[in-house]
Amino acid sequence: MTFDLVIVGSGPAGMQAARQAADFGLKVAIIDEQHQAGGQIYRNISKASARQLDVLGPDYRAGQKLVDDLADELITHITVATVWKVQKTGFVYFTRNGKADHVQGRHLLLATGALERACPLPGWTRPGVMTVGAAQILMKSGGLVPNNAILVGSGPLLYLMAVQMLAASCKPKAMLETQSLSSLRSALPLLPKGFAGWSMLMKGASYLTKLQWAGVKRYKAVEEISLHGEEQDGANGIAKHVCFTHKGQRKKLKADIFLLHQGVVPNTQISRSLGLTHDWQNDQVCFTPHIDEFGRTSCFNIHNAGDGAGIGGAYVAALEGALAVLDIAHDLGKIDQTERDAKAKSLFRKRRDALAARPFLDRLYAPPLGWRLPQDKTIVCRCEEVTAGDIRSYVALGCTGPNQTKAFGRSGMGPCQGRYCGLVVSDILAHETGQSQQEVGSYRIRAPIKPVTIAELASLDPGE
């Protein structure tokens, strides 16, 4: 099973890349962890009910065409496949239906999308607390909408979720927003250049208008947020209320469910496992793979596109998938450089315009320092129950980097392999040691990237 191009991920970047690669006559495999194409943003789009389509809105419905365009004899869509190892030689190993298998590509495209940033607040591991992204998965996969819910955090997705809840007749009980007046002052100088991306700004303004008309209670510039259960239920009891400081006063609100969100960050597990170069981005407060304008990474035969290479949204991800394939088609002799550059020109312009508002939004909705540097007793690694105080104590014992924390206390060694705690651990270590995040670095990721059983490994041929 050898292909011209193997794509990991079937979100907008992966789908657009597969479609365009087939148009160039390339034999393509697209490996997908879900049952249907769509990624997280267009999850379950092919089977969504009319009611789900109405609730989730036109941006969600736009994904159907990308899914339909995958129907091509040159595109092999491998579904329900969990990738656990990728090699620079082009081999991609995955498990499917209880067995391990692999494909090889002359070129690889990583289109792994984004993860929600961890939200380490006191009480965030209690039952009854989940992220906004997790709630969206329930809405898209099962048509389940949270009721009597309080939304906590910041970022465009927080407002989108609130508007979708209104459309489903499940008005949020309240929104606790962490962006402050100082955040707005800091972001305002970036707004004039952001007007080139006016459509994104207008969409955000429409969300805020809908929330105002619906009378959703919004608390802005909230601080010192913590989630609590009933005293008799202990530390692991179901979350029943949230406490926070607003305008200098301590407040307490009760709800049935609490949805947290503090933006999204690139999913770099595979690119990290390949040893590709990564850079710390101060504007998006995360690490991103080092790529050129076409998405080529520090390894010649590997490209990266979409939110996995830097947060830009679904529309930008599709553009980047197309740009990566233009470069790959040139590498494989399907087009010359002149044709590549001519076709890329309009895509570069569209991407530039679509990203124009991003610096303003990144500055306005930057995660507060309190979320990045949690209190000592707050768990940061949920898999191994390691607290922020534990990480700080390792520094006092001589720990200077994330990989050392594994030896000191197993942070990042659970089933998620540091996907969620990684940035928080790097932030704490940078703060405690006086280094930059680039100097501190991130977890070193090794295969298996996701859990794999002995039986699955044994299903490979002995030579593998």
Is residue 464 a part of any domain in this protein?
A: no
Q: How deeply is 397 buried, as exposed, middle or buried, from its count of CB atoms within 10 A (0-12, 13-18, 19+)? A: exposed
| Residue 430 belongs to some domain of the structure | yes
Give me the helix-helix angle, 156-167 and 198-214, nearest 10°.
50
Q: Is there a domain that residue 45 lies in?
A: yes
Determine, yes or no, domain membership for 40. yes
Quick one: 98 and 32 in the same domain?
Answer: yes
| Residues 199 and 248 grouped into a single domain | yes
Rounded CA-CA distance 410/285 in Å is 24
> In terms of domains, do 130 and 237 share one?
yes
Rounded Cα gap, residues 316 and 354, in angstroms? 7
β-pair type (241-246, 75-78)? unpaired
Q: What angle do CA 154, 39, 174 make, to 5 degrees?
A: 25
Same domain for 170 and 216: yes
Examine residue 351 and state whether it is found in any structural domain, yes or no.
Answer: no
> Global pTM?
0.95
Q: Do both 145 and 106 map to the same domain? A: no
Say yes or no: 159 and 251 in one domain: yes
Mark which of 262, 280, 295 sits at the end of a domain: 262
Q: Distance of CA 351 to CAs 197, 313, 389, Å?
A: 10, 11, 42
**Do 389 and 424 fall within a single domain?**
yes
Continuous segment of H or E residues that includes residue 83: strand 82-86
CA distance 200 to 198: 5
- Domain end point (choices 262, 285, 315): 262
Distance of CA 388 to the CA centre of its chain: 22
- Pair (69, 144) in one structural domain: no
In this structure, what CATH number is given to the domain that contains residue 419? 1.10.10.1100
- The verdict on 291 and 404 lying in the same domain is no
- CATH assignment at residue 252: 3.50.50.60
| Sites in the chain below the pLDDT cut of 50 | none
383 occurs within a structural domain: yes
Q: What is the pLDDT of residue 442?
A: 94
In a domain, 422, yes or no: yes
Does 452 map to a domain? no
Instruction: Give dist(CA 50, CA 72) in Å, integer.
Output: 27
Cα distances (Å, whole numbers) of residue 96 to 19, 99, 276: 24, 5, 26
> Does 257 share its domain with 269?
no
Domain boundary (207, 229, 262) is at 262
Domain co-membership, 221 together with 272 = no
Residue 169 sits in the same domain as residue 297: no
DSSP per-residue codes, 375-418: -TTSEEETTTTEEHHHHHHHHHTT--SHHHHHHHH-TT-STTTT
pLDDT at residue 315, rounded to an integer:
96
Identify the domain containing residue 322 by its residue range: 2-115+265-335
User: Residue 464: what pLDDT?
Assistant: 61
Counted domains in the chain: 3
